[in-house]
């Protein structure tokens, strides 16, 4: 689900209660249950959801870098046209928008923004995909056949 969170317009789905992140936890719990003969526990769902969120954060940040490099020139062009269309802007705001439109961004600023984004997605992914994994363990849990006594394994 990190791929969906990295795509420019599709990432807006995360505005709806972190849809793609929760969906990643749900899918992880579904896949985990399909590979198990016994029903999964809520703890199992939470764990695979957490792992899906952490992996999704890495995927999201790694994919957003080349996407932003490809889309950056188009964004700057749109910003320049927007500045030309809007007549009255405060001078400070116009100067900031013009600098962005010319692409005057520091490489250090780009790296710092990617690190902050990575930390943000790690935090959000850990929380919401764990919730998705819990939800997935409840939804996709296999039912034990009637008359079968479920004996937990001894360790």
Domain spans of the chain? 2-139
Please state the rounded mean pLDDT for residues 121-134. Answer: 94
Q: How many residues does the chain have?
A: 155
> Helices (H) and strands (E) in the chain — how many of each?
5, 0
pLDDT of 104 higher than 60: no
Phi-psi region of 40 (alpha: psi -120 to 50; beta: other; left: phi over 0): beta
Highest mean pLDDT among 43-47, 97-101, 141-145: 43-47
Query: Using one digit for the tens of pLDDT, what is the confidence trace for 7-28?
Result: 777 777 777 778 889 999 999 9
pLDDT of 145 higher than 70: no
Q: Assign 152 to helix, strand or coil.
A: coil
Q: Which residue has the higher pLDDT, 147 or 74?
A: 74
pLDDT of 61 higher than 60: yes
How much is the pLDDT for 147? 67
Calculate the CA 63 to chain-centre distance. Answer: 11
How much is the pLDDT for 150? 67
Rounded to the nearest integer, the mean pLDDT of the chain is 83
For the chain, the C-alpha Rg in angstroms (whole number) is: 22
1 pLDDT band, cuts 50/70/90, is low
pLDDT of 48 higher than 80: yes
Closest residue by Cα to residue 129 from 36, 42, 20: 20
């Amino acid at each position: 689900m990190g791929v969906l969170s990295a795509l420019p317009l599709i990432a807006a789905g995360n505005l709806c209660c972190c849809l793609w992140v929760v969906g990643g936890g749900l899918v992880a719990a579904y896949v985990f249950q399909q590979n198990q003969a016994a029903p999964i526990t809520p703890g199992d769902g939470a764990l695979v959801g957490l792992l899906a969120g952490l992996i999704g954060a890495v995927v999201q940040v790694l994919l957003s870098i080349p996407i932003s490099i490809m889309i950056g020139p188009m964004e700057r062009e749109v910003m320049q046209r927007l500045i030309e269309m809007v007549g009255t802007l405060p001078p400070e705001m116009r100067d900031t928008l013009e600098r962005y439109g010319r692409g005057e961004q520091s490489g250090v600023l780009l790296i710092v923004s990617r690190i902050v984004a990575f930390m943000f997605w790690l935090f959000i992914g850990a929380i919401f995909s764990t919730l998705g994994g819990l939800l997935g363990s409840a939804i996709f849990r296999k039912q034990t056949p009637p008359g079968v006594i479920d004996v937990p394994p001894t360790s």
